[in-house]
Amino acid sequence: MDTSARQKIPLNSLSPRQLMELDACTRCGECMKWCPIYAVDRSADLIPGNRIAALRKLLKSQHGIRARLAAGNRISKEEVERLIEVLYECTTCGQCHFVCPARIDTVELWEDLREAVVEAGLGPLPDQAEYLRVLKKYENPFKEPRENRGIWVQRGLEQGTLYRDLPLITESPQPVLFYLGCTASYNTEINLVAQWVANLMHYAGVRFGVLGNQENCCRGKLRRMGDGDFAAKAAENIDLLNSLGIDTLVTNCAGCFKTIFQDYPRIKKINFKVYHAIEYVDMLIRERRLQPVNLVPMKVTYHDPCHLGRHNGIYDAPRRVLQAVPGVEFVEMERIRQNSRCCGMGGGLKMGFPEIQTLASAERIREAERTGAEAVVTPCPTCFLGLQAGAARAESDISARHLMELVNISVFGR
């Protein structure tokens, strides 16, 4: 990473509104009270308001009148390096946006600034850059070969956890595509999550298929970490998905949902509706096509994934699903819905700061413990993994469970 103090961060990826937003911060300190990363790494540079102040200084000194008169900038190499570090020590969870009295759209700001930093050749951080290199080369972050992407179906049938075979949508066109994402495709534990969703959709009579080995990564992590290839890579994927003739796409992962539902249409028109699996299952239950009838006696609390909750307003569907499962005693945590504490898994933080991620998820686990629940459930495979890591870190007796498992048990009795 070239961190020359004279290296300019290009502003063309920031809109005039965003440039004005940098000046809108009054440094009231509200974001400091809520940021899940500052809560576990008490460096003042991480406070969103301070980060904005540092950016303002950097941009003024590199692009302002004084910089032109001085024919140079006044930011030290160390200041530039630190600013880039704190920009990437962030899950882009959006909590600072929701509590900010000036309503600064920080998620877009952080992502666009990352793009500017990458364009200047100053980011992302080395471990994050390696993650993106692998993602682009292998079409998944695990260095797995493409021909293994669809193996979860066979594995599920052999293990008896997937109850019926699934058609490949390219061979047998179906109106609904179930889009797995990388983690559910390759991670053997998260394979199960995909199988639970597939079992439920089959039971409800949904005509759906999968892409198998032809599925690509949604490429959302490129956008989250500011990689300038995101638009072109996303457009390739949009062309593939548009060519399938589907009317609906159901994602397994909250991150894929945000990418396909929110980011893709800004790049190119998509010709299908997009749902996260939990919204879809909620709809199937409300239409009485799915009936959770078997008791699941368990006291649980619910973790809102940032990409479903704060970023897309999906708060009620998962809670309705949870409450439709007989036997479940549902208790809320203190921080929920738009103030839900991030588990630390988003925005590429885990790739650059794995220790901070587990500390953040351990904090969420401690909140869950205070409810007296025996399990914290979530409908996002990534949060599920993050909360598991947090439970281990906190040496907690509470377990992290995926919401689809509870629905699967209640519908099928096993």
Amino acid at 273: K
CB of 30 or CB of 81, closer to ligand SF4: 30
CB of 73 or CB of 106, closer to ligand SF4: 106
Residue 290 makes CB contacts below 8 A (sequence gap 6+) with: 200, 203, 204, 281, 284, 407, 411
Give the phi and the psi of residue 36 in degrees, each rounded to 5. Answer: -70, -20
CB of 339 or CB of 396, closer to ligand SF4: 339
Q: Residue 15 Cβ, how far from ligand SF4 at the closest point, in Å? A: 17
Q: Nearest-CB residue to ligand SF4?
A: 49
Going by C-alpha positions, the residue among 119, 14, 123, 4 that lies closest to residue 72 is: 4
141-163 exposure pattern, b = at least 16 Cβ within 10 A, e = fewer: beebeeeebbbbbeebeeeebbb
Q: Where are the beta strands (DSSP E) in 108-244?
A: 176-179, 208-209
CB of 338 or CB of 399, closer to ligand SF4: 338
225: helix, coil or strand? coil
**Cβ pair 292, 200 in contact under 8 A:** no
Going by C-alpha positions, the residue among 200, 153, 24 that lies closest to residue 96 is: 24
Q: Residue 244 Cβ, how far from ligand SF4 at the closest point, in Å? A: 34
CB of 29 or CB of 72, closer to ligand SF4: 29
Q: Residue 266 Cβ, how far from ligand SF4 at the closest point, in Å? A: 20
- The contact set with ligand SF4 (CB under 6 A) reads 25-31, 35-37, 48-49, 52, 90-96, 99-102, 104, 106, 342
Q: Residue 295 Cβ, how far from ligand SF4 at the closest point, in Å? A: 38
Q: Residue 103 Cβ, how far from ligand SF4 at the closest point, in Å? A: 8
CB of 89 or CB of 227, closer to ligand SF4: 89
Q: Where are the beta strands (DSSP E) in 120-210?
A: 176-179, 208-209
Q: Residue 114 Cβ, how far from ligand SF4 at the closest point, in Å? A: 11
